[in-house]
Amino acid sequence: RRGQIHTLTVDIDVKPGFHIYGQPLPTGYIATALRTDELEQLTCGPPIYPKPQSLLLPALGETLSVYSGSISITLPVQSRRRDAFTLKAILDYQACTEWECLLPDTLDFSFPLTYLENP
C-alpha cells in the first residue's frame, strides 16, 4: 500500500568451507554490501546486516569480520508509488576460504512489488 514500509529480506547461504566479509574490514578487502537502484517515489533505508563473526585467517595473519553459513540482510523500503514496480538490487561480495579468495563478484536480482489500493 502507498506509504507502507516494507522489509525486504535477502537470504544468503554461504557454501561450507567459505566465508564472505562483513564490516569493519581493513583497506583492500571487499565487504558484503547490498545496493539498490534509485526510483522516484521510493525511499530505501540502509541495509541491516547481521553481526559478523571474527575469524583468524592463518594465511594472512589477521583476524577479520566474516559471515559463514546462512545469513539474512534486511532492507526497509517505503513507496509512495501508485503502480506496480520492480526494485533492482545488487549484492557485492567476495567469497574466500581460510587459504584463498575468489575474485570479488556481484549478484543482480530484483524484488517485484505490487501496489494495493487501501480498503
- Asked whether the predicted pLDDT for residue 119 surpasses 70, the reply is no
Distance of alpha carbon 16 from alpha carbon 70, whole angstroms: 10
pLDDT of residue 30: 94
Set of cell numbers at residue 104: 570479488
Residue with cell 559478523: 52
Condensed to tens digits (0 to 9), the pLDDT of residues 30-69 reads: 999 999 988 888 889 999 999 999 999 888 889 999 999 9
The pTM for the full model equals 0.86
Set of cell numbers at residue 69: 553459513
Which DSSP state fits 3? T
